[in-house]
Amino acid sequence: MSARVILGVVLAGVLAAGEASAQGAPTAPQGRGAGAGGQGAGAAGRGRGTAAAPPVRRMPDGKPDLSGFYDSVHRGANYGIEEHAGSTLTPPGQGIVVDPPDGKLPLQEWAKEELKSRQTPARGYDDPTAHCIMAAGVPRGFYVPSPFFIMQTPTHIVVLFERMAWRHIPLDPKRKHLPDSIRLWQGDSVGHWEGDTLVVNSQNFNGKPWLNEVGEITSHALTVVERFTPVNANTIMYRATLTDPIVYTRPFTIEVQFNRDPNGEMLEVACHEDNQDLQHMKDVKDAGTGLEKK
Amino acid sequence: MTVNSQIPTPRFQTARRCTIGAAALAVLCLAAAPVLAHHSFAAEFDENKPIKLSGKVVEMRWSNPHAWIYLDVNNNGKTERWAFETGAANGLFRRGWRKEDLPAGTVLVIQGWQARNGTNTANAGSITFPDGRRLFAGSSNPNAERDK
C-alpha cells in the first residue's frame, strides 16, 4: 500500500474518531498527565502556566488526546540548537539541549569542522530545505518556527507540518522497522504509549537533512526516541534523544514545549512556486567554488 | 493604501489578524506569529551590504516560499528595478497582510540587505511610507522583526 493511500486511510479514520470523540464527554480519569509538568523544568519549561489550564484531553479509550494545532516554543533552535548569541543575520537562541547538562552538542572533531563549513555562505545552498525539500527530518519539524497539526486515532498518529511535510506514526509496539536498506528523509517511526507519554522510535534515516538553517548535523546512523508528554489540554512537553555514533560522542536530548491553539488552522504552503532564493544561493556557491555563472 | 473590506474573514485569523483599517493607512503588525524562512538568511544576503531605497511599487507578488515586492527606483535619472524579499505568504497572511494591501504606484522606502550575488535583490528589513509611517515587512530575517 502506498504511503499516500495509507495517509488517506488514516485521515478517514481520524475524521471518524473525531466525530465520535466530539459526541461523548471524556470518561477516563485524569492520569499522570497533569503531573507531567515536572519535565518542564528544563530548557523549555517556560511559557504558559498550567494552574488554570484544562486537564489533559482524553480519547474514548482513555489515552491522552494529543490532537490539535500547535506552535512550539522553539527558543531559536532553527538557528542553533545550543544557546547562542544573535548577530545581524542570525537570531539568538536560548538553547534546547537538556542533556548533556552543559547544553552543548557532543560533536566529534570531524563534525565540528563540517559544521564550520556548513556555516559559510557557499554552503547555504546545501540545506535541503532551501531546495524546498520539506521532509526536513526528525526532529527539525518540531522547532522550525511554523505550526503543525497532530491527528490521532487509537492506532495512528499523523503530524501535518505546515512547512515541513508530514509524518505517519503507527502505534504498534510489535511493528518492526523497515529493512536497513530502505532510507528515508523522515525515517521510519513506530510509536507506543508508556502511561500518558507517547514514545516514538525512529530510524532508517538517509542522513541528508540538516538539523536547522545553520547546518547542525546528523547522519544515516541516527536513531531518535521522542517522548510526547501532555501537561494539560493545551500543552505538550516534547523530548527527543538523538543517538548518532558517526557524528556525536554520546546521545543528546532536546526539549521543546508545544502550545495548542484551539482556533488555529493550517494554511497552504507551496514552496516550489517561486523559490528565487535557490538561484541566489547557487550563485554564491558557484562563486565560492570557482564556478562561473552560466 | 486601500483595503478591500469585502474580503471575508476566515475563522483562523481572529486571534492573529493585525489591525488594518482603511482609514488608518499605516500598517504596523506586531503579532507574535513566527517569521518564516526555509533557508539561511546569512547565506543569501550580505550584512555588509545594507541598502535603503525609495521607489514606486510595481508589483507585490504573493507567492511561496516568500512574497516579493518589486520596486522601481530612480537612480540619477535611470530607473532600476529592485526585488525585495519579505516573509512567507502564510506568515504575512497571519499578520494581517492581504494581496490587495499594496497597490502598484505606492511609494515606499525600504531598508534591507542586498543579495550576495550582487543582483538588484534584497531582503526587506523595514518598510516605511515617505512620511515615515512604518509598514511591517515580514522579513525572513527574524532579527528585523525583533528590532521593530
**DSSP string covering B21-41:** -SS---------PPP--SS-H
As a whole-number percent, the residues of chain A with pLDDT over 90 amount to 71
How buried is A170 (Cβ within 10 angstroms: 0-12 exposed, 13-18 middle, 19+ buried)? Answer: middle
- How close is the nearest chain A Cα to the Cα of B87, in Å? 12
Q: At residue B91, what are phi and psi to the nearest 5 degrees?
A: -65, -40
Chain B interface includes A93 (CB < 8 A): no
- How close is the nearest chain B Cα to the Cα of A139, in Å? 16
A35 or B87, which is more confident: B87
Locus of grid cell 512620511: B131
Lowest mean pLDDT, pick from A27-36, A62-71, A88-97, B50-59: A27-36
- How close is the nearest chain B Cα to the Cα of A66, in Å? 20
Which of these, B71, B48, B49, B47, lies nearest to B59 by C-alpha position? B71
Lowest mean pLDDT, pick from A141-150, A153-162, A278-287: A278-287
Is residue A31 very low, low, confident or very high in pLDDT (cuts 50, 70, 90)? very low
For the question of whether the overall pTM of this predicted structure is more than 0.90, the answer is no
The answer to whether the bond into B103 is cis (omega within 30° of 0) is no
- N-to-C CA span, chain A: 43
Which residues of B sit within 8 Å Cβ distance of A? 10-12, 14-15, 34-45, 47, 61, 63-66, 68, 83, 85, 88-90, 93-94, 113, 115-117, 119, 121, 141-143, 146
Q: At residue A22, what are phi and psi to the nearest 5 degrees?
A: -70, -25
- How close is the nearest chain B Cα to the Cα of A127, in Å? 7
Q: Which residues from chain A sit within 8 angstroms of residue B146, using beta carbons? A: 86, 91
Q: Which residues from chain A sit within 8 angstroms of residue B113, using beta carbons? A: 88-89
Which of these, B41, B130, B43, lies nearest to B88 by C-alpha position? B41
Residues ≥6 apart with Cβ < 8 Å to A265:
A69, B10, B11, B12
Q: Which residues from chain B sit within 8 angstroms of residue A125, using beta carbons? A: 43
Q: Is the Cβ pair A267, B37 closer than 8 Å? A: no
Q: pLDDT at residue A49 above 70?
A: no
- How close is the nearest chain B Cα to the Cα of A118, in Å? 10
Residue type, A184: L
HSE (side-chain half, CA atoms, 13 Å) at B114:
12
- ipTM value of the model? 0.76
**B84: β partners:** B69, B122
Interatomic CA distance for residues A163 and A140, integer angstroms: 11
Which residue pairs, CB below 8 angstroms and at least 24 apart, start in B9-18? B10/A265, B11/A263, B11/A265, B12/A263, B12/A264, B12/A265, B12/A267, B13/B93, B13/B94, B13/B96, B14/A263, B15/A261, B15/A263, B15/A264, B16/B94, B16/B95, B16/B96, B17/B94, B17/B96, B18/B95, B18/B96, B18/B136
How buried is A78 (Cβ within 10 angstroms: 0-12 exposed, 13-18 middle, 19+ buried)? Answer: buried
- How close is the nearest chain A Cα to the Cα of B21, in Å? 23
Considering only CB atoms, A146 lies closest to which of B12, B36, B143, namely B36
Interatomic CA distance for residues A216 and A30, integer angstroms: 39
Q: Are A185 and A209 in contact (CB under 8 A)?
A: yes
Contacting A residues, span 45-84, partner chain B, CB-CB under 8 Å: 71, 74, 79
Please provide the average confidence, as pLDDT, over all residues in chain A: 84
- pLDDT in the model for residue B120: 96
- pLDDT in the model for residue B137: 53
pLDDT tens, A232-277?
999 999 999 999 999 999 999 999 999 999 999 999 999 999 899 9
Q: Is the Cβ pair B85, A277 closer than 8 Å? A: yes
- N-to-C CA span, chain B: 21
Q: Is the Cβ pair A146, B83 closer than 8 Å? A: no
Q: Are A73 and A44 in contact (CB under 8 A)?
A: yes
Contacting A residues, span 97-126, partner chain B, CB-CB under 8 Å: 121-125
Q: Is the Cβ pair B143, A90 closer than 8 Å? A: yes
Chain B interface disruption, residue of A274, A278, A282, A285, most B CBs within 10 A = A274
Q: pLDDT at residue A183 above 70?
A: yes
A275 or B148, which is more confident: A275
Q: Is the Cβ pair A274, B66 closer than 8 Å? A: yes
Q: Which residues from chain B sit within 8 angstroms of residue A93, using beta carbons? A: none
Q: pLDDT at residue A28 above 80?
A: no
Helix (H, G, I), strand (E, B) or coil at A111: helix
- pLDDT in the model for residue B36: 58
